[in-house]
Amino acid sequence: MTIQRPKGTQDLLPGTIEQWQYLEDTIRSVCREYGYEEIRTPMFEATELFQRGVGQTTDIVKKEMYTFLDKGNRSMTLRPELTASVCRAYVENKLYGQPQPVKLYYIGPMFRYERPQSGRFRQFHQFGVEVLGADQAIVDAEVISLVWNLYRRLGLVGLEVHVNSVGCPTCRASHREQLQEFLAVRKAELCNDCQERFERNPLRILDCKNPSCQAVTAGAPTTKDTLCADCSTHFARVLDILGRAGVVYRVNPRLVRGLDYYTKTAFEVMVEEIGAQSAICGGGRYDKLVEEIGGPPTAGIGFAMGIERVLAALQVQDKLPKKEPKLFAMLIALGEKAQTEGFALLNALRSQGLPAGMDLLGRSLKNQLKSADRQGARYALILGEEELARNVLVIKDLSLGEQREVPLTDAVEEINKNYQRGV
Ligand code: ATP
Ligand code: MG
């Protein structure tokens, strides 16, 4: 049997990879404009990092991690997300000693053992940002506006930005109590997962996708009812700044993140058109997380965006850039001597940054011209025995069908002139 790629993974081939590069380039430009710098951390980390940093009660840690023992018998895990890794790197590299806040972004693969389906993979890719060392509301607004402006730049429409505040451990305790009281009488109607959540993590029940759980929680008390004065002021300020900056959002009091180190702002971005997996971005504040993994008390906020899902949205909305021609010029060399001379000419063109190719298989003139056309070359540079003998090169404009001869010594300059002028 032939070997196939693992379930839930993809080969990204030429033809598709250009779309990824376009999205990544746009992300990098927006991050530069906002003053975020890139961080790259390992693909795998000590399992304990994710157990502590993502949380023992989460689906990710309970069911979705690729965990293995290395040859030294250490438990390692392929990264399922990057917030924990970035916080670890912040502590380990003493980034708290640098001017605060530290504003970082990342793009790369994540690994989760999930049931593969449309918009859900086992190796998928995220773009994310993390801001460490600032707890001000304006930071929350900056992070949300960054992703908003990225989507605007990409031309996406019909996005829903949901925002909420989950409070702090203090005000969440009273919400938790009220919620448990409300749910207690109908506990039996909850799904198995939610029954388990009832004790450990009742907030997450509000987030359950199961229709029967949603029915039970329909009128449940939300975090909004119990926010303390500090959290409430913070939330109002975030919304105020967002509104003034033109970000269109909706307050969704059911949007939650269940763990104790999540604080205050939580948000999510949805695009309905891409199907059931409509969340393209999720994020929030995590003022207790850095301490949780052993660092100094440090406020933090960030988000992670699914690259595959954003590409799917761009596809549905027909917002992907049109394919660009691969080559500007194609050398058509006939005979070994012409090939050798032509190769040197190509070198000179390429070293000036001009995309140029040649036939490598010794095809006929006709087939070489066809191939030049297929690759979208603007010019064919024809060099046969006869041209070589006269020290000239034929430059054929493939879109106009015109051709002219230039002395070989001027060829590079001539072609480059056209390239620079874009004709
Ligand atoms: P979901 O509810 O879809 O499982 P999540 O809450 O697990 O999402 P996060 O951990 O917040 O997602 O990750 C942020 C983003 O990463 C998601 O909004 C989504 O766009 C993307 N994402 C998460 N899991 C996958 C996956 N298995 N395949 C593709 N994209 C994913
Ligand atoms: Mg998930």
The pLDDT score that the predictor gives to residue 421 is 87
The pLDDT score that the predictor gives to residue 69 is 98
Which of the ligands is closest to the CA of residue 304? 1
Task: Supply the residue whose CA is at minimum distance from atom 21 of ligand 1.
Answer: 306
Mean pLDDT of 299-312: 97
**Is 257 labeled as ligand-binding?**
yes
Return the ligand 1 atom nearest residue 126 CA. Answer: 16
**Is 52 labeled as ligand-binding?**
no
Does ligand 1 have an atom closer than 6 angstroms to the CB of 64?
Answer: no
* C-alpha triplet 326, 330, 333: angle, nearest 5°: 150
**Is 272 labeled as ligand-binding?**
no
User: Does the pLDDT of residue 258 top 70, yes or no?
Assistant: no
* C-alpha triplet 161, 214, 147: angle, nearest 5°: 15
Residue from 403, 177, 148 nearest 269 by CA: 148
Give per-residue pLDDT as tens, 61-99: 999 999 999 999 999 999 999 999 999 999 999 999 999
The pLDDT score that the predictor gives to residue 275 is 86
Does ligand 1 have an atom closer than 6 angstroms to the CB of 261?
Answer: no
Ligand 1 centroid to residue 286 C-alpha, Å: 18
- Assign 3-class secondary structure to the chain: CCCCCCCCCCCCCCCCHHHHHHHHHHHHHHHHHHCCEECCCCCEEEHHHHHHHCCCCCHHHHHHCCEEECCCCCEEEECCCCHHHHHHHHHHCCHHHCCCCEEEEEEEEEECCCCCECCECCEEEEEEEEEECCCCHHHHHHHHHHHHHHHHHHCCCCEEEEEEECCCHHHHHHHHHHHHHHHHCCHHHCCHHHHHHHHHCHHHHHHCCCHHHHHHCCCCCCHHHHCCHHHHHHHHHHHHHHHHCCCCCEECCCCCCCCCCCEEEEEEEEEHHHCCCCEEEEEEECCCHHHHCCCCCCCEEEEEEEHHHHHHHHHHCCCCCCCCCCCCEEEEECCHHHHHHHHHHHHHHHHCCCCEEECCCCCCHHHHHHHHHHCCCCEEEEECHHHHHHCEEEEEECCCCCEEEEEHHHHHHHHHHHHHHCC
Does ligand 1 have an atom closer than 6 angstroms to the CB of 207?
Answer: no
Residues facing residue 318 across a β-bridge: none
Which residue among 309, 310, 311, 314 has the greatest number of ligand 1 atoms within 8 angstroms of its CB, and so is best to mutate? Answer: 309
Task: Supply the residue whose CA is at minimum distance from atom 12 of ligand 1.
Answer: 282
The CATH H-level superfamily of 329-418 is Anticodon-binding domain (3.40.50.800)
The pLDDT score that the predictor gives to residue 370 is 93
Does ligand 1 have an atom closer than 6 angstroms to the CB of 197?
Answer: no
**Is 374 labeled as ligand-binding?**
no
Does ligand 1 have an atom closer than 6 angstroms to the CB of 281?
Answer: yes
Task: Supply the residue whose CA is at minimum distance from atom 22 of ligand 1.
Answer: 306
Task: Supply the residue whose CA is at minimum distance from atom 23 of ligand 1.
Answer: 306
- Which numeric CATH code is attached to 17-168+228-316? 3.30.930.10
* Domain limits, the chain: 17-168+228-316, 329-418
Burial class (CB in 10 A: 0-12, 13-18, 19+), 227: buried
Does ligand 1 have an atom closer than 6 angstroms to the CB of 306?
Answer: yes
Does ligand 1 have an atom closer than 6 angstroms to the CB of 135?
Answer: no
**Is 64 labeled as ligand-binding?**
no
pTM as predicted: 0.93
Which residue among 126, 150, 193, 207 has the greatest number of ligand 1 atoms within 8 angstroms of its CB, and so is best to mutate? Answer: 126
Return the ligand 1 atom nearest residue 119 CA. Answer: 29
Does ligand 1 have an atom closer than 6 angstroms to the CB of 220?
Answer: no
Residue from 357, 349, 352, 345 nearest 392 by CA: 345
Residues facing residue 165 across a β-bridge: 265
φ, ψ of residue 159 in degrees (nearest 5): -85, 145
Of the ranges 6-15, 127-136, 207-216, 345-354, which one carries the lowest mean pLDDT score? 207-216
Neighbours of 328 (CB within 10 A): 20
Q: What is the mean pLDDT of the chain?
A: 94
Best mean pLDDT range from 178-187, 232-241, 361-370: 232-241
Q: Is there a contact between 86 and 18 (Cβ–Cβ < 8 Å)?
A: no
Burial class (CB in 10 A: 0-12, 13-18, 19+), 41: middle
Give per-residue pLDDT as tens, 121-145: 999 999 999 999 999 999 999 999 9
The pLDDT score that the predictor gives to residue 20 is 98
Residue 343 CA to residue 393 CA, distance in Å, equals: 13
Does ligand 1 have an atom closer than 6 angstroms to the CB of 147?
Answer: no
Looking up tokens 């000419």 gives 345
Q: Is there a contact between 314 and 320 (Cβ–Cβ < 8 Å)?
A: yes
Return the ligand 1 atom nearest residue 209 CA. Answer: 2
User: Does the pLDDT of residue 6 top 80, yes or no?
Assistant: yes
Kind of pairing, strands 392-397 and 300-306?
unpaired
Return the ligand 1 atom nearest residue 279 CA. Answer: 18
Q: Is there a contact between 127 and 27 (Cβ–Cβ < 8 Å)?
A: yes
The pLDDT score that the predictor gives to residue 147 is 97
Q: How far apart are the first and last CA of the chain?
A: 50
Contacting residues for 133 by C-beta, under 8 A, at least 6 apart: 96, 100, 101, 102, 298, 299, 300
Task: Supply the residue whose CA is at minimum distance from atom 9 of ligand 1.
Answer: 282
